[in-house]
Every structure is written in C-alpha cells, then in structure tokens.
C-alpha cells in the first residue's frame, strides 16, 4: 500500500467507509465560503441593518438620521397600511395556493393515465413555467385592459357578462386578476411536482385496489393521496413561501391599487423604501416579516423537509 499523507490507518469506521481513510479532515472547512456568503450577505448584515434603520428616521434630503426609538414600529401597527398589506398577501396566498393545488392534482392525475398525446399535453401544460412574471403582468393587463379586453369579449359572447367589466378598478376583481396571473403561471409547477410524486406509486398498488373493487374516489383517498402526501406538502410549502414574496405582476398590473387592494407586503416595503423614502418604516416592516418567516422555518419547514427526506 502506498502511504500518502492523507491516508492514515485509523480506527474502524462506522458508516461503511474503509477504515484506512482518515475521517476527520479539513473537509468541513469547505462549507465556510458559501456559509459566510449567505450568512453575511443575506442574513446577518440585512438583519442588523434593518434593526438599526428601523430605530431611525433617515432623511434623503440632508442624508442625516434621527433616532426615533420604536416610533416606526408604532407607526407600523397604528396605521392601516401594514396590516392591510399582510392581509392582502395572506389572501393572495390562500386563494392562489388552493386553486393551484386542486387544479394541479386534477391535471396531474389525468396526465398520469395512459392516453394518446399524453407527452404533448404535458409539455404544453408546463409551458407557462417558462415565462417571466413581470412580462406576464403586462400581458394580463392587456388581457384585462379597460374597454379593450378580449376576456370581456369572450365572456360577452358566451353570455356570461354584459358590457365592460371593471377588472382593474374594482378591488375584488383586481385581486382576482392578480391571483389569476399566479395561478396561470404556477399551476404548472404543481403539475410537475405532483407527477413526480405519482411516479413513485407502483402500478401494482392500483391493480390491488382494482381487485379490491375500490372506486376511483376510494383509490385516490386510500392509496394515491397517502403516497404523494409528502411531495404535495413540499410543493405547497415552496409555493407558499414564494407567494409571500409576490411582487412582479402587481408592479406591472395594478401598482398596488385600486385603493391599495392589491398591495402585498413585498410591494409595501418597496413603496415605503424606494418611493416614499421612509427607510425606517420599510425596515421595521421587513423585520416583522423576517420574524414570521423564521418562526415558520423552525416550526414547519424543518419538519416537512426532514420527513420528506427520510421517505424519499
């Protein structure tokens, strides 16, 4: 045996490695460049900077900061803007996520069956994933453009509506449009994730269900769903986290209007930070969102991920 510096005779190893390979080495140092990058750039620095700024009122004009203590936090919860944006974000999240999930499951179950043109259908149905959210925003503003909306035209032709529908002037209709853009792009995401989950269900399971005379409905609830439960949880979690960030189509279509009905929390932070230049207020708003996400990380994300990983 050639005796290299890094090969040393060590005690018997426990996890299948050959006993001669030295186990404790410089290897774990390799995580540090990326860890420091993420920690410094995306966690520690932004967090402390936000905390610091949230205690001050920064003036763009003079470039000076004035210490105001918790005034920004008081303003955050005393004025309706912030609470309303949290409510709007939550509303968009719940609506978009439930539609995407139900539609995603239905379409994925169909695509998991055998029929002619299945491959083509799948390809066409995941195409919206390959689009750009802000561009989609503009396309949908065209589709719902006041007095020139092809959607209005089609609904009128079908007799489902009469005349012009004020899509972007009415708060609830504007919210519906904003939710629709997300559903349009990301149902495809649910479809391919659920299809991946379904591919892990052995065909023999379905045969057994058939021998047992189970109806399709029973087969779904007793066999399919338990098998794809964790994949589904993972997909929904990822989607939920992305919906909290929802921004681009709102910027393109409504700019948060009408009457702030479509202002998500991301949009509010952007507006206060870079349009109204109330940096302290935007920072205070960011800190609160962080707190919520971190708590969720430790309660939900870690559980879902460990469970999915151990089953996968």
Partner 1 sequence: MRRIRTETVGYRVFRAVFLVFFIVLFLFPIYWMLKNSVGSRTETLLYPPHYFPRHLEFNSYLRIFHDMNGAIVIWNTIRVNILAALLALTLGIPAAYAVSRFEFKWKEGGFMFTVLSTRFLPPATALVPIYFLYVKFGLVNNLTGLVIAYAGLNLPIVIWVMRSFIDEIPRAMEESYMLDGHSRLAAFFKIILPLSLPGIAAMFMICNFLTWGEFLLSAVLTTTYTAQTIPIAVAQLEGDIGILWQQICAFGVIATVPIALIIVFFQRYLVRGFSFGILK
Query: Is residue 56 involved in binding partner 1 (CB under 8 A)?
Result: no
Burial class (CB in 10 A: 0-12, 13-18, 19+), 99: middle
**Residue 172 Cβ vs partner 1, minimum distance, rounded to whole Å:** 21
**Residue 214 Cβ vs partner 1, minimum distance, rounded to whole Å:** 10
Query: Is residue 130 involved in binding partner 1 (CB under 8 A)?
Result: yes
Q: What six digits make up the tokens of 272?
A: 């206060």
Contact criterion met (CB below 8 Å) for 129 and 188: yes
Q: Which of 236, 206, 252 is nearest to 304 (CA)?
A: 236
Of the candidates 91, 126, 161, 233, which one interacts with partner 1 according to CB under 8 A?
126
- Around Cβ 54, how many Cβ atoms within 10 Å? 24
Query: Is residue 10 involved in binding partner 1 (CB under 8 A)?
Result: no
CA distance 284 to 68: 12
Q: Which of residues 70-109 bind partner 1 (CB under 8 A)?
A: 103, 106-107
Q: Which of residues 222-281 bind partner 1 (CB under 8 A)?
A: 231, 234-235, 238, 241, 244-245, 247-248, 251-252, 265-267, 269-270, 273-274, 279
Q: Which of residues 140-199 bind partner 1 (CB under 8 A)?
A: 140, 142-143, 145, 147-150, 152-153, 184, 187-189, 192-193, 195-197
Query: Is residue 303 involved in binding partner 1 (CB under 8 A)?
Result: no
Q: Cα dist. 110→118, 122, 191, 231, 239 in Å?
A: 9, 10, 10, 17, 22
172 versus 298: smaller Cβ distance to partner 1? 298
15 versus 172: smaller Cβ distance to partner 1? 15
35 versus 77: smaller Cβ distance to partner 1? 35
CA distance 264 to 84: 8
167 versus 267: smaller Cβ distance to partner 1? 267
50 versus 71: smaller Cβ distance to partner 1? 50
Q: Which of 283, 214, 270 is nearest to 65 (CA)?
A: 283
Q: Per CB under 8 A, which region of 47-55, 60-68, 70-78, 169-177 contacts partner 1? A: 47-55
Contact criterion met (CB below 8 Å) for 152 and 161: yes
């Amino acid at each position: 045996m050639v005796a290299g510096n890094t090969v040393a005779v060590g005690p018997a190893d426990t996890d299948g490695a050959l006993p001669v390979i030295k186990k404790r080495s410089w290897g774990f140092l390799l995580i540090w460049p990326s860890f420091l990058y993420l920690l410094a750039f995306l966690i520690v620095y932004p967090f402390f900077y936000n905390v610091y700024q949230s205690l001050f009122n920064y003036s763009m004009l003079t470039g000076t900061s004035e210490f105001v203590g918790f005034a920004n936090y008081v303003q955050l919860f005393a004025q309706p803007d912030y609470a309303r944006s949290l409510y709007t974000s939550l509303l968009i999240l719940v609506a978009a996520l439930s539609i995407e999930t139900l539609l995603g499951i239905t379409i994925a179950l169909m695509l998991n069956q055998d029929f002619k043109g299945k491959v083509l259908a799948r390809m066409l149905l995941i195409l919206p994933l390959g689009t750009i959210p802000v561009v989609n925003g503009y396309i949908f503003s065209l589709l719902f453009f006041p007095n020139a909306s092809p959607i209005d035209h089609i609904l009128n032709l079908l007799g489902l509506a009469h005349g012009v529908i004020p899509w972007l002037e009415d708060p609830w209709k504007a919210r519906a449009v904003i939710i629709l853009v997300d559903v349009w792009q990301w149902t495809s995401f649910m479809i391919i994730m659920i299809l991946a989950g379904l591919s892990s269900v052995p065909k023999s399971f379905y045969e057994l269900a058939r021998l047992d005379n189970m109806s399709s409905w029973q087969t779904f609830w007793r066999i399919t769903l338990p098998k794809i439960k964790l994949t589904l949880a993972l997909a929904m979690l990822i989607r939920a986290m992305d919906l909290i960030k929802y921004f681009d189509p709102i910027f393109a279509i409504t700019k948060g209007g009408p009457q702030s009905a479509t202002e998500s929390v991301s949009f509010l932070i952007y507006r206060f930070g870079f349009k109204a230049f109330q940096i302290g207020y935007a920072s205070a708003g960011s800190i609160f969102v962080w707190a919520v996400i971190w708590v969720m990380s430790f309660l939900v994300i870690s559980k879902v991920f460990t469970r999915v990983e151990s089953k996968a």
